[in-house]
Structure 1
Amino acid sequence: MSIFRYIFRTAASNPIEARFNVITRYHCLIYFVVFLSKIPAIWHILNLMILNPPITYTCGGGGGGTDRLRLVSKEECPCTSPTWDRSVFSETVQTKFGLICDRKKEISLSETCAYGGMLVGAFLFGLLSDRFGRLIMFSISFVLTGIAGVAVSQSPNMKAFYAFRFFEGLGAGGTIVTSFVLLIEYTGMKYRETVTAVYHLPVNLSHLLLAGVSYGLRNAFDFQLAVSVPMFLFGFAVFFLNESPLWLLTRKYKSRTVKAMQSIAKFNKKPDTAISGDIDAYYYSTQGAQQEKIQLYHIFKYRRHTLNLFIMAYMYLVCGMGYYGVSQYISKMSGKIHVNIAISAILVMPGTLLSVYLLNKIGRKPFLFSTNLLAGAFMLITVIVPSNCDPTWPRVLFACISNCFFFMSFIVVFLYGVELFPTQIRNSALGVLSVLSRAGMMIAPQINILNPIVAGYVFAVLALLGSLLVICLPETKNKELPSTLKDQERR
């Protein structure tokens, strides 16, 4: 997948890279728009917790006389006339479409459709953003998610719900890819570690606000409509922001590159009269440059790279599965759902801030090892504590701490993947790894269908195994990025 091409290019002669090593007023505008856009975008990834919250029903007895007034035990199957407990939510996917007994599995199938859409969307919008530009695809992906989100809120049946959820996921996958690429291409190498970590703070804020919005809107479909409307606002980004100058430069749109950089300089109130000459010099110096064509499968000729690829593939899978899976797991635990979601979000925030500090202080290897070990350990504690214990908050707290460490793993694993693979195949490797992360998100709802104890053990064991595999990876902090396949092999 070519969405990451040139993102981490470090040629000293690149005039865009040199100018973006300083944070300017325009950078603050870009960061504000991208960070703000993450809030409604993440709502569309986590919204199944509200569309399909824990909700119980009782079933009216048949027959006549006094038997008509009899209520059988809760959750009894089969049941043709369920009476739902609407004390928390007035309407959900289960209540609207009667998803009980054998039809319960349709809930997880709808989430798999959404994550499947995200997988396709990441590929599709990655390719389209390389062809047509980051900014235009950024705007289109948000509009598509908004349209599909509104359609989900109006779904007449489950078949329509599946289809609309797929397109909602398709757009959401595009928002993740395009927003991150835009952010990174506007950030110089000096600040990319910090910006990459801080980029996840809006995800935490979105998670927290999810609890507040859903608390105010107890009809899940009204909630879905409310979180879809803000998506359309970011469709206007294409009209007031500049296209990524780095993308314009690599596409050899010289005049548009100069115009974009001059527009940025004007916004910063610091005219840049040298940019045109610098870009001309860059084009002249790179004319006729040839690069050896290396394909991803060439990596299997090298033992070190092959091992790195398989381990990172597993880590991406577990991170996608772990964070989104445990988030859903927490929403289904005993206690008040809105409180559980809020606690989970609040505890993840310090983890994100800590990641900003740790990424600059300790190595990637001990960071990833520790976060996976602790995520697995706290998930094991969650499972060991009886589900019927009173009070229930310690169990919820342990699961939330586990989720925090899963999220911290998510932050470091992407940067680690970038640094492990050489420039020749870094783009392709990251494409494969991103797909596996989405695959993990697709698998997570299927795990949560299982008995809660079994599901908890699955998340715990996968994380603990990941911590052991990390031991086999090389350290990359403060080391020059490998340029060729042979560089890492010689280390």
Structure 2
Amino acid sequence: MSTTEPLLSAGSNDGEAWKKQKQKSSGEGRRRVSIDEALSAHAGEFGRWQLRHFVLVSAAWALEALHTMVIIFADREPATSCAGAGAVCGDPCAGAGAAGWEWAGGAAASTVAEWGLVCGERYKVGLAQAVFFAGCMIGAGVFGHLSDSFLGRKGSLQVVCVLNAAFGLLTALAPTYWAYAALRLLTGFSTGSVGVLAFVLATEPVGPARRGAAGMSAFYFFSGGIAALAGVAALLPRSWRLLYAATSLPSLVFAVAVVPFVSESPRWYLVRRRPDDALRVVRAIAAANGRAVPEDLTLKLDDEDEDDDGGAAAAAAAAASTSSGSIVDVFRSPTTRVRLVLSVLINLLASVVYYGLSLNVVNLKTNLYVTVVVNSLAEMPAYLLTALLLDRFGRKPLAIGTMLLSGVFCTAGSLIPGAGTMRLARMACGVVGIFGMAATYNLLFIYTAELFPTVVRNAALGCTAQAAQMGAIVAPLVVVLGERLPFAVFGASGIVGGLLVFYLPETMNKPLYDTMAGLEEGEKSVIK
């Protein structure tokens, strides 16, 4: 008898152990599930781990608000006063100090006062805002790609926060207007992707049933950041340079004290062919949520078969195509190509309306600090309403409804004459318009993220963010067209955008696909 025969005996414990070891090393006998399935069945969709992770990461939205909206206070036009008299008077076009005139609060109160950006130089205020959003448009595409490839969601977020802090602090030292404008361009380059990166990193570890509501909650941080900015600006009303320093330092603190203590997305690990790291994160989620992941469970991409002997062959064959995606990959697929074109147009139109209506706030003859706080708080009910209805009616019907609501009321505002008490009626139309578009603008983040697979999600979001930034550049040009015509443009934009949403698919309770092949297979099964 061979000396190895007892090891192969069916009744031998040693033989059974050897078989189990062989199965473990080859991947046999292990259950392979997607991340969504692992979260729903084992780790928990939104427990203690996801709550902590979500709050820490979403705080980056407040940083984006600080860098974006600081221009409201830094570039404001202060009042003028008679030297020694203290009464507000005169025309600043003659220059600060000419014929006894001076800026209330001193020349350091704002960039307008320091560099005389009035009358013939007034265009430079709008130019600085335009170049900032142009930087956002470029940066959203660059960092959207980097976060999908080797840098990752977490690494990209840390890089942009460090750059934000550096460029913001340098802006506080700008010696001339043109240096200031150049630094605003660079700040926009790093700021434009902060929200997208934070949104994706915060929501990818959330289960499908909770992802929509969690995603909508992220935008409270942006509104909160605007309110906080008003408070900081009120404490530093006489120095735009100190204001830039004060709004830039939080980004550095976030990059050093927060980002190192949050996890990279398990979905990014999986598409980068690091399944052990992805499973490690899922197990950490389960442990923090008081649950457990079975020992025989492994993770798979959605284009791999469950019985594919560990998926080794598929992983090797697809590694190059799935480990990093780009916008080129989005256009190669007819499914994602149509989705991207529609998403770009819808986001651009929504941005024109949202930023266009928001800019009207600065024309109100009220306390600027109070107005900004009230404006930021007014958007919050839209987030709450959308979060409550998102998983009941779906992304598509809600996006259509909120865009059409905004478009119809803006159109009505364009038909109202601007005399006397009718101005209040037009203002009311504008309030409803911005309420509807605030809901749409933020809903689009969730909707767009769910339309594209993990491998190209940030690249696609970066592209739609670029379109939104383009809309932000166009919005000020629409505002200067008069009193009624801007409302007509906003109304048409809202209605056309709402109609375009009809051509997008519903994503509620659908899988969050990891790969292009997985998405294509999923669409084929729906058609069948």
TM-score, with structure 2 as normaliser: 0.75
Aligned to 1:211: 230
Aligned residues: 467
Aligned to 1:125: 143
Aligned match for 1:413, one of 414, 419, 444:
444
Aligned partners of 2:61 and 2:460: how far apart in 1? 25
Aligned match for 2:219, one of 172, 189, 200:
200
Aligned partners of 1:253 and 1:473: how far apart in 2? 32
Aligned to 2:166: 147
**CA deviation after TM superposition for structure 1 residue 124, in Å:** 2.1
Aligned to 1:48: 71
Which residues of 2 match residues 230-245 of structure 1 at below 5 A? Answer: 230-236=250-256, 237-245=258-266
Structure 2 residue identity aligned to 1:142: C
Give % identity: 23
Structure 1 residue identity aligned to 2:367: K
Aligned to 1:34: 57
C-alpha distance 361-185 of structure 1, shift in aligned 2 (>3 A): closer
Aligned match for 1:179, one of 195, 198, 205:
198
Structure 1 residue identity aligned to 2:64: A
- The question of 1:227 aligning with 2:247 is answered yes
Deviations 1:363-392 (A, max 9, x none): 444422332233234445656677785898
Secondary structure of the corresponding residue to residue 483 of structure 1: helix
**CA deviation after TM superposition for structure 1 residue 315, in Å:** 1.2
Aligned partners of 2:407 and 2:139: how far apart in 1? 30
Aligned partners of 1:425 and 1:39: how far apart in 2? 25
Aligned partners of 1:255 and 1:472: how far apart in 2? 39
Aligned partners of 2:506 and 2:285: how far apart in 1? 37
| 8 Å CA contact retained: 1:21, 1:190 | no
| 8 Å CA contact retained: 1:58, 1:76 | no
Structure 2 residue identity aligned to 1:112: A
What is the aligned-residue RMSD (CA, Å)?
4.0
Aligned partners of 1:425 and 1:230: how far apart in 2? 30
Deviations 1:174-229 (A, max 9, x none): 32232112112211222111111112121222233333332232133322221111
C-alpha distance 229-394 of structure 1, shift in aligned 2 (>3 A): farther
Which residues of 2 match residues 241-256 of structure 1 at below 5 A? Answer: 241-256=262-277
- The question of 1:136 aligning with 2:159 is answered no
Which residues of 2 match residues 352-431 of structure 1 at below 5 A? Answer: 352-380=383-411, 398-418=429-449, 430-431=461-462
TM-score, with structure 1 as normaliser: 0.80
Structure 2 residue identity aligned to 1:189: P
Q: Which structure would you say has the larger Rg?
A: 2
Aligned match for 2:45, one of 22, 27, 35:
22
**CA deviation after TM superposition for structure 1 residue 121, in Å:** 1.8
C-alpha distance 227-262 of structure 1, shift in aligned 2 (>3 A): same
Aligned partners of 1:314 and 1:475: how far apart in 2? 18
Aligned partners of 1:99 and 1:165: how far apart in 2? 16
Structure 1 residue identity aligned to 2:295: A
Secondary structure of the corresponding residue to residue 278 of structure 1: strand
Aligned partners of 1:320 and 1:211: how far apart in 2? 22
| 8 Å CA contact retained: 1:49, 1:328 | no
| 8 Å CA contact retained: 2:32, 2:299 | no
Q: Please list every run of 5 or more consecutive structure 1 residues that lacks an aligned counterpart in the other structure.
A: 1-10, 61-70
| 8 Å CA contact retained: 1:108, 1:446 | no
| 8 Å CA contact retained: 1:343, 1:400 | no
Q: Please list every run of 5 or more consecutive structure 2 residues that lacks an aligned counterpart in the other structure.
A: 1-30, 301-305, 323-327, 513-517
Aligned partners of 2:96 and 2:268: how far apart in 1? 58
C-alpha distance 88-41 of structure 1, shift in aligned 2 (>3 A): farther
Aligned partners of 1:459 and 1:128: how far apart in 2? 34
Deviations 1:242-275 (A, max 9, x none): 2222222322234544554555555556675728
Aligned to 2:368: 337
Structure 1 residue identity aligned to 2:104: R
| 8 Å CA contact retained: 2:350, 2:440 | yes
Aligned match for 2:91, one of 70, 74, 83:
74
Deviations 1:55-93 (A, max 9, x none): 455899xxxxxxxxxx99636579994945537997112
**CA deviation after TM superposition for structure 1 residue 408, in Å:** 0.7
| 8 Å CA contact retained: 1:383, 1:456 | yes
Judge which range, 437-446 or 191-200, deviates more.
Answer: 437-446
C-alpha distance 464-315 of structure 1, shift in aligned 2 (>3 A): same
- The question of 1:286 aligning with 2:307 is answered no
